[in-house]
Amino acid sequence: MTAPQVEVLLQTILSGLLLGGLYALIGIGMTLIMGVMKIINLAHGELMMVGMYIAYVLFSTFHIDPYLSILVAAPALFLLGVFLQKFLINPVMKVDAIIPENQVILTVGIGMVLANIATIIFSSDYKTTPVDYATKAWYLSDIWKTSPIEISLSLPWTVSFCCALAITGGLWFFLGKTDMGKSIRATAQDKDAALLMGVNVEKMRVVTFGLGSALVGSAGCLFIPIYYLYPDLGGQFTLTAFVITILGGLGSTVGAIVGGLILGVFESLTSTYAGMGWAPVGRFVIFLAALIFVPQGIMSLFTRKRFGK
């Protein structure tokens, strides 16, 4: 490989990791909901879309930086998630139906309504937040003067990645160290045992759905400086989140991070070497490969099989 080729490869992998960090944030939200509620939230991408529009409105009317708008979007999405869980999803979980996938179909309905309302309010035009640092980049040679190869990374991508890391870290602390976080994890592991130990399972479900929504909403705010926005963009991110959760093993937070990074790098590689249009196909090739070869998720390769019934 010649030096320019190495540069392209490294550049591709690094951009992939940055993208993967953001994907991980989306995936964690989905996997949390999946773990605690045992349902798949197909409105996940649409919730992210709502977060992005919040950031867009704040930017275009008040010129608030998209990164700061997380402070508004995350609580707003939390409330939206709580509302959806309490008044729509929870009642359906109690309904007896021939098709047990009712709740999944319900979240599809929620997603449709959200996307459509966004179309009505904002039209289906592509929107961006033209921040002045959008096209700025930093170069490896700025830091390491004698570097033999040159790599440049987009500044907003890097900032978004760091924010995603910080949020993930915060979540880690919340789930690991606080009482509520521990209760959520207990509910995910064994609902009945948690109930017996005095955990308010109903409340944990509501909080988890809110939390998952807030996470993906924040991811939306991190995406908007580097991405364009349109009402139907939710669907592709729902699928991305789903692919990440399958890759990482259902309900595993660490798995979601690993899955997100793998997916980011893989997509980055496909768009560099096979063309932009094929990037989504790459995503699904990896998804199918995971389904066929590692149905328990990537993480199962590293951990020993758990005791099963």
Partner 1 sequence: MKKYLPLLIAGILALLPLIGLSSYWMHILILVIMWSVIGMAWNLLGGYCGQVSFGHAAFFGVGAYTAGILYNKTGMSAWWGLPASIVVVALFALLIGYICLRLKGPFFALGTLAMGVILRVTAENLTTITEGDLGIMIRERTWIDKTYYFYIILILAVASFFVVKKVIESKLGYYFVAIREDQDAAESLGINTTFYKTVALSLSAVITGLAGAFYTNYMGYIDPKIVFALHDISIVTIMVVMVGGVATFWGPFVGAIIMVFLAELIRSIPKLGAAHHTFFGILLILIIIYLPNGITGDNPKLKRLLRMGKTT
Partner 2 sequence: MSMLEVKNVSRFFGGLAALTDISFSVEKGEILGLIGPNGAGKTTLFNVVNGFYGPSEGEVLFNQARISGLKPHQVCIRGIARTFQVVKPLQRMSVLDNVIASAYLRTGSRAVAETKAVETLKFTGLYDDRDIISKGLPLGKRKKLEIARALATGPEMILLDESFAGLNPTELNESIEIIRNIKATGITIMIIEHHMKVIMSISDRIVVLNYGQKIAEGTPEEIRSNPLVIEAYLGEAQNA
User: Least CB distance from residue 288 to partner 2, whole Å?
Assistant: 24
What element of type H or E holds 163? helix 155-177
Token digits for 49?
């879309």
CB closer to partner 2, 145 vs 304: 304
User: Least CB distance from residue 34 to partner 1, whole Å?
Assistant: 9
CA distance linking residue 33 with residue 226, whole number of Å: 27
CA distance linking residue 291 with residue 285, whole number of Å: 10
**Residues binding partner 2: number (CB under 8 A):** 6
Among 87, 293, 302, 307, binds partner 2 (CB under 8 A): 307
CB closer to partner 2, 98 vs 120: 98
What element of type H or E holds 138? strand 137-139
CB atoms within 10 A of CB 264: 24
CB closer to partner 1, 147 vs 236: 236
CB closer to partner 2, 145 vs 305: 305
Among 63, 94, 145, 305, binds partner 2 (CB under 8 A): 305
Q: Is residue 306 a contact point for partner 2 (CB under 8 A)?
A: yes
Among partner 1, partner 2, none, the one that 91 touches (CB under a kind-dependent 5 to 8 A) is: partner 1
CB 12 within 8 A of CB 268: yes
CB closer to partner 1, 106 vs 256: 106
Report the candidate in 102, 98, 128 with the shortest Cα–Cα distance to residue 38.
102
CB closer to partner 2, 63 vs 305: 305
Torsional class of 229: left (φ above 0), alpha (ψ -120 to 50), beta (otherwise) = beta
Compute CA 296 distance to the chain's CA centroid, rounded to the nearest angstrom.
20
Token digits for 282?
């790459």
Report the candidate in 304, 174, 177, 283 with the shortest Cα–Cα distance to residue 239.
283
Residues 73-102 that bind partner 2 (CB under 8 A): 98
Compute CA 188 distance to the chain's CA centroid, rounded to the nearest angstrom.
19
Residues that bind partner 1 (CB under 8 A): 39-40, 42, 88, 91-92, 95-102, 104-106, 108-113, 115-117, 119-120, 235-236, 239, 242-243, 246, 250, 275, 277-278, 280-281, 284, 287-288, 291-292, 295
User: Least CB distance from residue 69 to partner 2, whole Å?
Assistant: 46
Which residues of this protein are in contact with partner 2, per CB under 8 A? Answer: 98, 304-308
